[in-house]
Every structure is written in structure tokens, then in C-alpha cells.
Amino acid sequence: MDSFEYVSAPHRVVFGRGTLQELPSMLEKIKVKAVLILCTPQQVSTAEEVKAIIGDTGIAIFSEATMHTPTHITDKAVLVAQEKGVDGIVSVGGGSTVGLGKALSIRTGLPHLCIPTTYAGSEMTPILGETENGRKVTRRDPRILPTAVLYDVELFKTLPVTMTVYSGINAIAHAVEALYATNRNPIIDLLAYEGIRTLCIALPLLQADGNDPAARQQALYGAWLCGMCLGAVDMALHHKLCHTLGGMFNLPHAETHVVLLPHALAYNATAPAAAGAMVKLAAALPEAEGDPVRGINALYQRLGIDLSLKGLGMSEGGVDEACDVAIANPYKNPRVLEREGIRELIRRAWAGEAAK
Ligand code: NAD
């Protein structure tokens, strides 16, 4: 085994069913007495549920969380936090709401407790992407990592089955790229393997029955592990492409991950630097029979996934445009970025062809 560095995230996590009831004691542990609750306009009722549980500690709800964390929304939230004199933040929602919580926390220094309701994994990372004048800038800072995380499976009952599947694949993508990250390590390998394996069991069960409580719990556990992978090591081609295409063509986050993952994986699968990762990945994917691309294609078939970049609204002309941007700034990836190969990858994803 090679030498390695492992940086663990020193934050508190509670996981289970009905754990929302433990919110008052968690807030006590992080010494927060007056909370601003964050959510999207679509999840106000969940935020109200949170407020009811914490009683007088819940000072106000700010319900303007938006995709890509626009700074003008954070400016508004900062003003509300100051006006109300809160000493802590609770974000309840998906990656968009967690993003607002992180942005508000780093600006104000207030402790941030996250209650995730999707599998995107942002709550486990010290990463924040913010948008100003249409430009998204992403940074990493240990102070961005939330102070505490409360996972309650019950909050996932309202997540529609298609979003469950897409968000679960989004989580799997973090673990796939962690396996071949240049700064990977054996601890993260374990989390990645277990995260993928668990989600591959849970997602087909949830697709058959979105109310299956054991499968929901398994999916959330797997997503937690995958989120830790995203937070701990560097991502490569797949995440860079999602970021580039998502920004250029305003594509939805989880769906873009779903479309690109098999193609980015197929591109990297033959790279000698990814050989060990592919063995581990094939072992985690059912039906892979030693071939991870076959494994991911089989998973998609089982889940009935039929998405394309074209279907998400990207024009055909965007293929070359996206390719130019994707190869313009070099980044760490197990296989060298070759124009022809990257263009073909994006073209296949655009047309909705199977990865190979
Ligand atoms: P999202 O947070 O935008 O949520 C999508 C929609 O689903 C919203 O309307 C939301 O209110 C609704 N929703 C969420 N949970 C629900 C539930 N349980 N029941 C019913 N409706 C629910 O989507 P997302 O995919 O979770 O997050 C995407 C955003 O997160 C992107 O901006 C992405 O860049 C960011 N992200 C950041 C990181 C990071 O580490 N910084 C990691 C992953 C994602």
C-alpha cells in the first residue's frame, strides 16, 4: 500500500428514521439558540415542520434558496439573519438549499446545521459554488463544511421516484470519480465501494416502490458515503463536464450527471491509471461481470433511464462548443483529454446513445 494523507471532516452527523425530533438537542450541542431556517419556495411546509419542532428557537424562515446559489439571494439572507439577530442556520432541502446555508455561514461565521432531502451530497463537502452575473465560481474552504448534519429518511418520502433515481446516480458519480482520483486513498476507496454497492441495491427497489422504508434508508446511507468521497478527494472529467455543460446550457444538475456518467466512465475505463479503480467499480456494480461500463449500462437499463443532453434542451451545435471549453483548461484525469474522444463522448451523450 502506498503512503497517503487522509483528512477527516470533524463534524457531527445523526442518521436514521424520525431523527428530526433530535434537532433541539443537536442545536443545544452546537450551542445555537436562535435559528434562521432556509428552504426553497417548494419546501416551505418542510421548513414549517422544522420550525414547529424547535419552538421558540426557530426565529424565521427564509424560503428563497435557488439553484446555483446566486449571490444576490445570499445578500438578502444575510440581511434577514442580521435583522433577526440569529446565532445559527438550519438548511432543509437539496443541494441548492445547502448551498445557500454554506454561503450564509461563510459570510457571517454562523454555525450551520444541514438537513438534506436529496442525495446530492453537498452537506458532506467543504465546497461552495456561487453565481454572480451568470458566472459560477467554485471554491473549497474547510470553513464551508457544515457544523452538523441531520439525516432523516422520513424527509425523503416526498422526493418523487424519478428525482430519487437521478439524485442517487448523482451520488454514485461522486464515488466513481473518487475511485480514480489522483489523491485517492484506501479509506475513501472503502466508502466509494460501499456507497455505490448500497445505492445499486436500493435504487431499483425504490423505483419499484418509492415508499419502501428499508430501501430509502439504504439509499440515504449510500449517498452519505458518496458525499464524503466528493468532499475528500478531487473529481475529474465527469464532474468537470457536468459543471461546464450545466453552466453553458443551463441544464438541470442531477439529470446532467445521469446523462454524462456512463460516457465519462467509458472514456476513462481503458486508462492504465484507472485500472485498479475499474476492478473495484466492477465489483460494486451488479451485472458488471468485470466490466464497469457494462455494469453501469445494466443499472440504467434496470432503472429505465432514457435521458440525453438533447432531451435536456442542449442544441446540436453545443457539442463542439462544449468540447472546446471542456479541453481548454487542463485538469487531473486518469486519461489525457483528447479532442476527438471528448467530442465523441459529448456527441453520444447528446444523442442518447449507449456508452461504449
Ligand atoms: P435542488 O436542491 O435544486 O432540489 C431540486 C428541487 O427538488 C427543489 O425544488 C427542491 O425544493 C426539491 N426537493 C428537494 N428535496 C425534496 C424532497 N425530499 N421532497 C420534495 N421535493 C424536494 O437539487 P439537488 O440536485 O439536490 O442540488 C443541486 C444543486 O446542489 C446544484 O446547484 C449543485 O451545484 C449543488 N451541489 C453542490 C455540491 C457541493 O459540494 N457544493 C454537491 C452537490 C450538489
pLDDT score of 136: 80
| CATH at residue 173 | 1.20.1090.10
| CATH at residue 112 | 3.40.50.1970
Q: Determine the atom of ligand 1 nearest the C-alpha atom of 254.
A: 25
The C-alpha cell at 331 is: 485538469
- Please identify, among 134, 156, 178, the residue that sits at the C-terminal boundary of a domain: 156
Q: Determine the atom of ligand 1 nearest the C-alpha atom of 128.
A: 41
What is the distance in A from the centroid of ligand 1 to the CA of 82?
26
Quote the ipTM score.
0.99
Give the chain's mean pLDDT.
Answer: 95
> Strand, coil or helix: what is 152?
strand
What is the number of H-type helices and E-type strands within the chain?
13, 8
Is residue 209 in a domain? Answer: yes
What is the distance in A from the centroid of ligand 1 to the CA of 283?
29
Residue 11's pLDDT band (boundaries 50, 70, 90)? Answer: confident
The C-alpha cell at 220 is: 440515504
User: Which residue range(s) make up the domain with 187?
Assistant: 161-351
> Strand, coil or helix: what is 130?
strand
Residues 190, 223: one domain?
Answer: yes
What is the distance in A from the centroid of ligand 1 to the CA of 54?
24
Q: Is the CB–ligand 1 distance for residue 167 below 6 Å?
A: yes
Residues 75, 204: one domain?
Answer: no
Q: Is the CB–ligand 1 distance for residue 355 below 6 Å?
A: no
Q: Is the CB–ligand 1 distance for residue 118 below 6 Å?
A: yes
A 10 A CB-CB count for 231 gives: 22
Residues 141, 208: one domain?
Answer: no
Residue 6's pLDDT band (boundaries 50, 70, 90)? Answer: confident
Q: What is the mean pLDDT of residues 138-157?
A: 96
- Please identify, among 156, 173, 188, the residue that sits at the C-terminal boundary of a domain: 156
What is the distance in A from the centroid of ligand 1 to the CA of 41?
13
Which is nearest to 248 in space by CA: 330, 177, 328, 332? 328
Q: Determine the atom of ligand 1 nearest the C-alpha atom of 39.
A: 11
Q: How far apart are CA 273 and CA 277, in angstroms?
A: 8
Residue 248's pLDDT band (boundaries 50, 70, 90)? Answer: confident
What is the distance in A from the centroid of ligand 1 to the CA of 256?
13
Q: Is the CB–ligand 1 distance for residue 120 below 6 Å?
A: yes
Residue to mutate, 164, 253, 258, ligand 1, most ligand atoms under 8 Å from C-beta: 253
Q: How far is CA 247 from the centre of its chain?
A: 16
- Please identify, among 98, 133, 156, the residue that sits at the C-terminal boundary of a domain: 156
Residues 102, 174: one domain?
Answer: no
pLDDT score of 72: 97
Residues 250, 329: one domain?
Answer: yes
- pLDDT of residue 200 exceeding 80: yes
Ligand 1: which residue has its CA nearest to atom 39? 122
The C-alpha cell at 355 is: 456508452
Residues 268, 143: one domain?
Answer: no
pLDDT score of 10: 64
Q: Is the CB–ligand 1 distance for residue 70 below 6 Å?
A: no
Summarize pLDDT for 272-319 with one digit per residue, the tens.
Answer: 999 999 999 999 999 999 999 999 999 999 999 999 999 999 999 999
Q: Determine the atom of ligand 1 nearest the C-alpha atom of 230.
A: 40
Residues in the chain: 356
Residues 151, 272: one domain?
Answer: no
Residues 87, 204: one domain?
Answer: no
Which is nearest to 198 in space by CA: 179, 175, 182? 175
Residues 103, 47: one domain?
Answer: yes
Is residue 298 in a domain? Answer: yes
Is residue 103 in a domain? Answer: yes
How many domains does the structure of the chain reveal? 2
pLDDT score of 350: 97
Is residue 328 in a domain? Answer: yes
Residue to mutate, 122, 140, 216, ligand 1, most ligand atoms under 8 Å from C-beta: 122
What is the distance in A from the centroid of ligand 1 to the CA of 94?
3
Residues 297, 207: one domain?
Answer: yes
- pLDDT of residue 7 exceeding 90: no
Q: How far apart are CA 29 and CA 13, in angstroms?
A: 12
pLDDT score of 134: 73
- pLDDT of residue 340 exceeding 80: yes
Is residue 86 in a domain? Answer: yes
Is residue 5 in a domain? Answer: no
Residues 108, 188: one domain?
Answer: no
Residues 137, 188: one domain?
Answer: no
